[in-house]
Amino acid sequence: MATYGYDHIHFRSEDPHAARKFWEEMFGATLVQERKLGGAPSFNMDLNGMTFIISGRAEGEDPVRTSSDPRYGLDHFGLRVDNMDDAAADLRAKKAEFICEPWEIRPGVKIAFIKGPDNISIELAQRD
């Protein structure tokens, strides 16, 4: 039987340079590799061991955006934080837009959501 594990997340962005800047400034992500993908800028990033890719519109590509609410497919993804209060204060100082303020969904679990580039939702989760 095959064994599966996390490899990467790939974001497609209308403005990949702005998306890269967001991840660097908000979360301290670092650039691992910059290249072209289908003629578009593409950035391989690292966030504390989590690999993700940000790329722009490929040459000749004409993406069609459908209604953004509700949307199907990827709803959000989560980042673990060790202290929600510190994380929220840090992100507020960086002008992050909170979609959902921090709250305790059940004993020992606090969550919050911020808006990322291209209207993606990023969940912050503290699990005691």
Residue 64: predicted pLDDT: 58
pLDDT confidence band for 103 (50 / 70 / 90) = very high
What are the CA-CA distances from residue 57 to residues 15, 20, 38, 91, 103 (Å)? Answer: 9, 14, 8, 28, 36
Look at the chain and count its residues: 128
pLDDT tens figures, 22-78: 999 999 999 999 999 888 899 999 999 999 999 988 887 766 555 555 445 667 888
pLDDT at 80 over 70: yes
| Paired tokens of 93 | 């100082």
